[in-house]
Structure 1
Amino acid sequence: MSKNFFDLTGQVALVTGASRGLGQYFARALARAGADLILTSRKQEDLASFVAEIEALGRKATPLALDVRDQGSIERMAVAAEEAVGQVHILVNNAGCNARKPALDVSWDDWNFVLDTNLRGSFFVAQNLARRMVKHGYGRIINIGSVTSVFGYAGLAPYGASRGGVRQLTMSLADDWGRHGITVNCLAPGWFRTEQNKVLYEDKEWVAYLEDRIPVKRAGQPHDLDGAVVFLASEASRYITGQTLLVDGGISTGAMRATVAKPPKT
């Protein structure tokens, strides 16, 4: 019988920013593929109902507090994860934030808030987990980027800079840690409705503009990411590292596709 390269049974995946949004969808997909979970959020109590949901799927779920903007919090989380489960095989670096406003209105604090969360936080979480993965000679690190990792959009200067940085960081870490059996890839969703951008989707004209630009003619649904995150977490991707996988319905094939006149609000 051939091996199922997408089976994650016996592995542990740590997902940051798992109290809501895409983080929960990533965690569900990995649990359905057989992985046990470590779930993190700034407030551990925010994870209670989701822990119960993962356990109802027959998987173990351990909640841990983590503020990715705090060095001490990252280090404490990594120690607690190791004490709780031993080896963490998979990291999904999902925790993120945005400051959506015109570039002329971006403040010093806006910039620091977004870059500290999305870029600096991603690096130091990966670093702390990778130190432990090196001891075992194995690891799968999935940094969550965005279509803004490769394309620029008005009103998203700090966010785009942070996500572009995540893409470059991914390539550097892949080169650094490949010799230790650790792959590092970037999963870059296109336009998905999330808590960060839900106000945009209340504008029907903007949604029509967006969908006209996407070759498959619809925005992404969270389950559209399930296969990609399981693939990058599994043995099926064992010879893939340093790559950015765009899951965007094809919007990255051409930004001038639109026929609807109204541009998106930012």
Structure 2
Amino acid sequence: MTLSDDLNFAEHGGEFDSAAPASLVIFGVTFTPQIIGILLGVIGLAGAAYILLNLLMPAWESYQQQQAKSLELQAQVAQKKANIKQIDKVKDELAQAKQQKVQVLGLFANEKTSDTLLLDMNRLVESGNTPTSINAVRAKLNKFVPVSQKPEPIIDGSLGPLVDGKLQRSSINAEITGTYEQTQSIIRNIERLQPLLIIKDYQATLAPVESRSPLDKTPVQVGPAAINTSFQLQILMPLSPEEIAAAAAAAAKTAPKK
């Protein structure tokens, strides 16, 4: 081999090494490295979108549903707690109302206080007497007569429409004699009695001067004058549920028809 042949071989070999690699051709489209990179990026985005739509979105929707359900359950629990507190409040108010009812009913009379009212009146009248001179006026109870044998329901509106059919009263005509101070003290003590009493038809007149002895034909007024005081005591008592129903039925019968 000659030197020129060697040089020619070197030239041919240089051309072989510098030749560019062949690109992939499919359906007439040449896929260069740049195009392949873009296609791989698009495929990656499509895969990510597929995963997002088919995996992440259902999971997110399920999370949202569970979150809404949790909030709803929390609201129900809070409402139930509020209802329990409301029930406790209503129970407390009911207990207070029952206690107030007992206290209010304690202001009214009952069969026991009605039976002992005559004794109470005698005690109040006698308490106004003090051991003084023989000419002093002694307070005394002249009359204590029940108007009716049994209490009557109040349905005439005399104490207001709210009371009708809920209370009953027993009326007693009474008369006492005493000085002005004694009479005033007796009336005040009657008002302080435990049962609720109403004093009506109050009338007062001067009492005739009494003789100091059977032989004294000319009685002389010595000391304060005596006063005869007459009035009607009305004893108020609550009706039982059965009596309230009966009073309502009686009121309905007597009410004018429209």
TM bin (shorter chain): under 0.3
User: TM-score when scaled to structure 1?
Assistant: 0.21
